[in-house]
Amino acid sequence: MAKQDTSPIPGPDSESRIVHYAFAYQMLPMLIFSKHCEAVWQQMRDPETRRETLNDAWARTCRHFDVKDFQPVGLEGDFIETERKEYLVVDMPPPVKSPEAYRCVVEKDLPARMFRYFSAEYGSTAEAQKQVVLGEWLAPMNRRNLGYVRTENADDILVAIAALAASSPS
């Protein structure tokens, strides 16, 4: 039987916080880096199936940790297309502690047919100043730190990701 989280909005010490972390850093990367990534991508491209796919993945994460399934308030996905790339921007329920994610961004390079997975994470300094840390997930449970982003705003995150691509050798 699933354990119940009795807090209306899971606080920083709630067992439900593990779902936030696992969804962003395990479940979504697992879907994107799986052999079914193209099928998942097509579900995420379609506004009709995007929300259902995200909510289903959230519920599966809850079941995996034997945590009562709760409505992920704030979990939304937006799809952005450019000439050479497509982006899925996933807004997470508000983070309450480091290293929970504000947003996760999946980038698909269309000519290369390659996926990259980024997270904009709640971070803080020893002086308790909020910072937004940009990470790239090379595979589930394999992350590298890319530095800081100005804000957790999706536009700022996408600008930072584009700057990374512009500064890397071709």
Residue in 21, 42, 22 with CA at minimum distance from that of residue 115? 42
Predicted model pTM: 0.86
The three-state secondary structure class of 101 is strand
Q: What pLDDT does 142 receive?
A: 86
Q: What pLDDT does 125 receive?
A: 62
Write out the DSSP string of 107-152. EEETTTTEEEEEEEEEEE-TT--EEEEEEEEEETTEEEEEEEES-S
Residue in 112, 113, 105 with CA at minimum distance from that of residue 87? 105
Question: In this structure, what DSSP letter does residue 70 have?
Answer: -
Q: What is the pLDDT of residues 93-143, one digit of tens each?
A: 998 888 899 999 999 999 999 999 999 999 876 555 678 999 999 887 789
Q: What pLDDT does 119 receive?
A: 96
Residues of the chain predicted below pLDDT 70: 1-15, 125-129, 168-170
